[in-house]
Amino acid sequence: MTVLIFNEAEVRRHLTPIECIEAMRQAMIALSRGQTQQLPREIMTMSGGRMLGIMPGAMNADADFGAKIISVFPQNFAEGRPSHQGAVMIFDAETGALKILAHAGEITAIRTGATSAAATDALARKDASQLAILGYGHQAFSHARAISKIRNLSKITIWGRDKERRTAAAANLEKELGVSCEPKASAGEAVKDADIICTVTGAKDPILFGSDAPDGAHINVVGSSFNGPAEVDSDLVVKSVYFADHRPSVIAQGTEYIRAHNAGLIDETHIAAEIGEVFDGKHTGRRSDGEITLYKSLGHIVQDLAGAILLAHKAAENSIGLTVDF
């Protein structure tokens, strides 16, 4: 058996934002149509906030299938190590043999930013040009890169709790993207004039509030991927037009939605649509320039599989990746 391996550098080099944005659109359409298969995310929690996540799935009943196994060690970021480490594995639909092994941390970062960019393209105002990012880790950069491909950004603001880290992140983003990027001392200050807001933090409790969000903004809520931490408060959930990446998953694991629901502030009809339904033309998305739209991203195995399959197609054309006997 031979296995095609993509390490971190190769994933970063070859899984480009533009190609990945379109691949994520198609993956989320397939998810919303019920064409894909996936089991609920399983998370094993350990001491010190350490976690192991397992996500199995298939693009359809007859397609190649696979899983992502990834460890999440939040403390690693402060120590200069990746917080997300693991592998995306794809198995052959005909033989069951393992055929692809790819760096999960890099695929996760790129596909998450790309899916948020696709959601932003569908839901943000067409003239949106000011981006605010709450958080300064790997996802902050992947979101800025991807969103810069679907809107002509005039300014980026960034906030995170550590002054030195947010200042360094702003400088690095400005250098890479050629867009003015300013670090801000508070989340409220960072989003004050924003058209697009991305929350990509590890916050356990809200850092963005309904009173902070400007009218007409589009918000990607990304940092919390299981029932526990919440990045935005219930007021913001209530006042937004709320779009889910996957309705059953958000109802079960979307903490911000769950908190508002349990408080009796919303019911399941508050979810306007799945983002795949918007991509598929089954929901109009934004209805006016003044409303606040919110996309809740939990992340799904079909996104990881779509990213790895895109890499495999490029490998067949360009001889990238490392093929090994296994």
Structure tokens at 58: 């298939």
Cα angle for residues 294, 295, 301 (degrees, 5° grid): 165
Residue 136 has pLDDT above 90, yes or no: yes
Residue extent(s) of CATH 3.30.1780.10 domains in the chain: 2-107+302-325
Q: pLDDT averaged over the chain?
A: 95
Residue 39 phi/psi, 5-degree rounding, is -95, 155
Q: How confident is the model at residue 95 (pLDDT cuts 50, 70, 90)?
A: very high
Q: Give the pLDDT confidence score for residue 319 in this predicted structure.
A: 83
* Contact (Cβ atoms closer than 8 angstroms) between residue 225 and residue 298: yes
DSSP string, 18-81: HHHHHHHHHHHHHHHHT-SEEPPPEEEE-GGG-EEEEEEEESSTTS-EEEEEEEE-GGGGGGTS
Residue 49 has pLDDT above 90, yes or no: no
Residue 222 has pLDDT above 90, yes or no: yes
Residue 182 has pLDDT above 90, yes or no: yes
pLDDT tens-digit series, residues 197-212: 999 999 999 999 999 9
Bridge-based pairing of strands 181-183 and 155-159 is parallel
Q: Give the pLDDT confidence score for residue 78 in this predicted structure.
A: 79
Domain 2-107+302-325 indexed as CATH 3.30.1780.10: yes
Q: Give the pLDDT confidence score for residue 183 in this predicted structure.
A: 98
Average pLDDT score over residue span 295-321: 93
Domain 125-299 indexed as CATH 3.40.50.720: yes
**Cα(79)–Cα(300) distance, rounded to whole angstroms?**
28
Q: Give the pLDDT confidence score for residue 84 in this predicted structure.
A: 84
Give start and end residues of each alpha helix (H) in the chain: 8-14, 17-33, 104-123, 138-147, 163-177, 187-191, 234-239, 247-253, 255-262, 275-279, 301-318
pTM of this structure: 0.95
**Cα(310)–Cα(23) distance, rounded to whole angstroms?**
8
**Cα(126)–Cα(178) distance, rounded to whole angstroms?**
21
Percent of the chain with pLDDT over 70: 100
Residue 226 has pLDDT above 90, yes or no: no
* Contact (Cβ atoms closer than 8 angstroms) between residue 39 and residue 57: yes
Residue extent(s) of CATH 3.40.50.720 domains in the chain: 125-299
